[in-house]
Structure 1
Amino acid sequence: MYGLVDGNNFYVSCHRAFRPDLEGVPVIVLSNRDGNVIARSNEAKALGIKMGQPFFETKELRQQHGIVVFSSNFPLYGDMSSRLMSLLTNFVPDVEVYSIDEAFLQLENFWGLYPTYQGLGQDIRTKIDQWLRIPVGVGIAPTKTLAKVANKLAKKRSELNGVCVLETPQQIEDALANFPVEDLWGVGHQSAARLKRENIRTAAQLRDTNDDWIRQIMTVNGLRLVHELRGMPCKLLEVTPPPKKSIGSEPGFGTVIPDLDTIADALTSHLTRVGMKLRRSDQLAGAVTISLRTSKYRKTPGNGLAAKQYSNSITLNLPHPTSATPELLGYALTGLKAIYKTGYQYQKVGILLTDLVPESYRQKGVFVEGPDERLIKLAGVVDKVNKRFGQDKLRLASQMYNPEWPYQQKYLSPHYTTRWEDILEAM
């Protein structure tokens, strides 16, 4: 049996954990530069606010319903996630961290401390609520896909009190009979549309479909999904996460930027963060992709017409894999200059590192030396200093001290668990 523990509206819940006065109040969380909505409370969802909706479009609803707004606080979310995952290991030894707010549990041997899976699920919910004040849903079933189904039902049906166990064939049959096929884990929009054209609208109908047809339409991954719906585990627990295949970043500017120098400075800062993540995962990058685009929402001042649009990207294959920020930056800036065009107001510049290999990988070419070991070691030292003394205390000389594209975080909450001066005081 597998369990899936999933935080309810996790980003919102992290704020509510320290602001109990916000229970029952519509709350939204914004992206890095306060541009779009990336999390909503149930109350905000009920008002019609959509995921990814531009923040400026919510102005009227915010004024009418007193919606509380927070800028994204990723240090807080990451720390609360770490606490959540650590707490789950108190119940079972094998935990797969699937995302910042989701984890799969292996429940075959939970030491017999609970007479039923329902009791285990309820105790998990109670402990997390007591220790972290984060509401979660718990789904338990014979496969990971069925556990996903159970988790969705646990959140949707109030009578289940946040825990859904699909243990018997009849329980599974009842759950899949009316479960929309588009809500299944691994079924995308195109696959769902194709299935509906074939009159396959529920998970039960998909489960009972011919294997050869599924393999032809949805490939082997679709066949694994169908087998999991039949109770045959095909997706085993990954306690040790696989190496990342890519690492990237594409936050928007606080305002539109026309000039190359400012965009290059933004790219430098993005690359600094991405390079740190690369080294933290003990990997080297063999290719760099740079992207640049304008805002599709921007209007031309005066006539209100849509501003002219431009987007482009370029991938540069490195002569050797590296994790040194100065080396990566040289290629990144070359790519940026190749795709930059004057006369446009740019909203985003993005960077993506691919062709990742283990940090121990060293391969010299016939005409090319390997990576500069001194630069790799220097980047590691810079990471340690910045971790201890604060972000960007040590930085590249090319980074502006007061950049013109600052993060717009007008609604940033305190860092309750990661900054000493923000820790709450009991009066």
Structure 2
Amino acid sequence: MYGLVDANNFYASCHRAFDPTLEGKPIVVLSNRDGNIVARSNEAKALGIGMGQAFFETKDLREQHDIRVFSSNYELYGDVSARLMSVLTQFVPDVEVYSIDEAFLLCEDYVGIYPSYSGLGQDIREKMKQWLRLPVCVGFAPTKTLAKVANRLAKKNPELNGVCVLDSQEAIAEALEHFPIADLWGVGRKSAGKLKRNGIETAAQLRDVNDDWIRQTMTVNGLRLVHELRGLPCKLLEVNPPAKKSICTEPGFGQVIPDLTQINDALTVHLSRVCEKLRRQESLCGAVTVWLRTNPYRRTPGNGQPAKQYSNSVTVRLPHPTSSTLEIVKYAESALKAIFRFGYHYAKVGVMLTDLVPQDYRQAGVFVSGPDERLIKLSKAMDKVNKRYGHDTLRMASQLYNPEWPMKPQWLTPRYTTRWDDILEAK
């Protein structure tokens, strides 16, 4: 049996965990530049606020219903997520971290100390509420896809008290009978539309389709989904997930930037972050892609006309795979200079590392012998120092000491669990 533990309204719940006065209040969490709503509490959802809705459109609602607003606090969310996953390993040893607020459990061999799967689920809920002040829902089923279905039912049906167990053919059949096809894990908007056009609107109908037809319509992944709905596990638990095939980042600027020097600084900072992730998963990269783009919604000050738009990208293949920030930065900066155009106000610069290989990969080229091992060791030493003393304690010379480009979130809360200066004080 698989279990799926999912924190309810995770971003909003993280803020409530450190501020009890927010209980029962509608909460919205904003995107990187405070432009759109990326998370909502149940109270905010009940007011009709949509996911991804522009923040300015909610002005009247905010004034009428005292909606609490927060900027995204990813440092806080990441640390609370790590604590959540750590607590789950105290119940079962086999835990797959699926996302920042979700984890799969392999629990059929560890339920003996509980009277039932429902008892295990309730204990998980109680401990999460007591230790982390996080509300969670738990679903149990013979496959990961059915566990997803069970978890969604646990969220949607208050009478289940946050735990749904699908441990019999009768319970599974009843759950799938009216479960919308669009809510199934692995069914996207296009696939859902295609299935509906063929008269398949519920999970039960999809479960009963012909294998050949589903393979032609949704490829082998759709066939695996159907088998999982029939109770045949096709997606096994990934306790040690495979290394990523690419690593990228594209944070926006706090304001539009026309200056190459500041954009180059932002690129260097972003690249340093993704290179740290590259080394953390013990990989080397063989290519780097850099892109620039303006804000498509920007208006020219004064006349209000749409501003000039520009976007471009370029990929540079490295002479040899490496994880050294110093080596990769040289090629990334050259790529940025190649696509930069004067006369535009840029909103974002992005960088992506691709062609990733294991860190022990070495293959000499015709004109180069391989990566400089000294630079790789130097980058790893910088990682150790920065991990102990904080980001950018050691940094590239091209990183400005007091840059003007970073985002300045207006409603950012303290990082309660990761910064000494932000620890809550008892009064």
TM-score (norm 2): 0.96
State the alpha-carbon separation in 2 of the partners of residues 349 and 412 from structure 1: 23
State the alpha-carbon separation in 1 of the partners of residues 30 and 186 from structure 2: 26
State the alpha-carbon separation in 1 of the partners of residues 304 and 159 from structure 2: 50
- Percent identity between matched residues is 71
1:188-239: CA deviation from partner (whole Å, max 9, x where unpaired): 1111111111121111111111111110111000000000001000001111
Cα deviation, residue 160, structure 1: 0.9
1:268-308: CA deviation from partner (whole Å, max 9, x where unpaired): 11111111111111111111111211222222334434333
Query: Match of 2:48?
Result: 48
State the alpha-carbon separation in 2 of the partners of residues 77 and 308 from structure 1: 37
**Aligned residues of 2:111 and 2:120 also touching (Cα < 8 A):** no
Calculate the aligned-residue CA RMSD, in Å: 1.5
State the alpha-carbon separation in 2 of the partners of residues 59 and 342 from structure 1: 36
Cα deviation, residue 179, structure 1: 1.0
Query: Match of 2:131?
Result: 131
Structure 2 matches for 1:375-390, cutoff 5 A?
375-390=375-390
Query: Match of 1:251?
Result: 251
Query: Match of 2:418?
Result: 418
Query: Match of 1:154?
Result: 154
State the alpha-carbon separation in 2 of the partners of residues 322 and 168 from structure 1: 51
Cα deviation, residue 111, structure 1: 4.8
**Aligned residues of 1:34 and 1:408 also touching (Cα < 8 A):** no
**Aligned residues of 2:111 and 2:117 also touching (Cα < 8 A):** no
Q: What amino acid sits opposite 1:252 in the alignment?
A: G
Query: Match of 2:194?
Result: 194
State the alpha-carbon separation in 1 of the partners of residues 200 and 17 from structure 2: 41
Query: Match of 2:233?
Result: 233
Query: Match of 1:19?
Result: 19
State the alpha-carbon separation in 2 of the partners of residues 111 and 63 from structure 1: 49
State the alpha-carbon separation in 2 of the partners of residues 186 and 32 from structure 1: 27
Higher mean C-alpha deviation, range 343-352 or range 95-104: 343-352
Structure 2 matches for 1:71-82, cutoff 5 A?
71-82=71-82
| Partner SS state of residue 404, structure 1 | coil
State the alpha-carbon separation in 2 of the partners of residues 49 and 275 from structure 1: 37
1:97-136: CA deviation from partner (whole Å, max 9, x where unpaired): 1111110000120150112111111111111111100001
| Partner SS state of residue 383, structure 1 | helix
**Aligned residues of 1:6 and 1:102 also touching (Cα < 8 A):** yes
State the alpha-carbon separation in 1 of the partners of residues 152 and 395 from structure 2: 44
**Aligned residues of 1:35 and 1:54 also touching (Cα < 8 A):** yes
**Aligned residues of 1:309 and 1:344 also touching (Cα < 8 A):** yes
Q: What amino acid sits opposite 2:367 in the alignment?
A: F
State the alpha-carbon separation in 2 of the partners of residues 105 and 176 from structure 1: 22
Change (3 A) 1:54 1:362: farther
State the alpha-carbon separation in 2 of the partners of residues 196 and 304 from structure 1: 44
Higher mean C-alpha deviation, range 57-66 or range 162-171: 57-66
Q: What amino acid sits opposite 2:227 in the alignment?
A: H
Cα deviation, residue 148, structure 1: 0.4
**Aligned residues of 1:140 and 1:166 also touching (Cα < 8 A):** yes
Query: Match of 1:335?
Result: 335
**Aligned residues of 2:248 and 2:353 also touching (Cα < 8 A):** yes
| Partner SS state of residue 220, structure 1 | helix
Change (3 A) 1:306 1:156: farther
State the alpha-carbon separation in 2 of the partners of residues 211 and 184 from structure 1: 18
**Aligned residues of 2:140 and 2:165 also touching (Cα < 8 A):** yes
Aligned length: 427
Higher mean C-alpha deviation, range 337-346 or range 169-178: 337-346
1:233-284: CA deviation from partner (whole Å, max 9, x where unpaired): 0001111111111111101111111222221111111111111111111111
Query: Match of 1:64?
Result: 64
Query: Match of 1:207?
Result: 207
State the alpha-carbon separation in 2 of the partners of residues 32 and 244 from structure 1: 23
**Aligned residues of 1:386 and 1:392 also touching (Cα < 8 A):** yes
State the alpha-carbon separation in 2 of the partners of residues 313 and 56 from structure 1: 31
Higher mean C-alpha deviation, range 160-169 or range 63-72: 63-72
| Partner SS state of residue 231, structure 2 | coil
| Partner SS state of residue 96, structure 1 | strand
Cα deviation, residue 365, structure 1: 0.9
Query: Match of 2:94?
Result: 94
**Aligned residues of 2:139 and 2:150 also touching (Cα < 8 A):** yes
Question: Structure 1: which 5+ residue stretches go unaligned?
Answer: none
1:408 aligns with 2:423: no
| Partner SS state of residue 17, structure 1 | helix
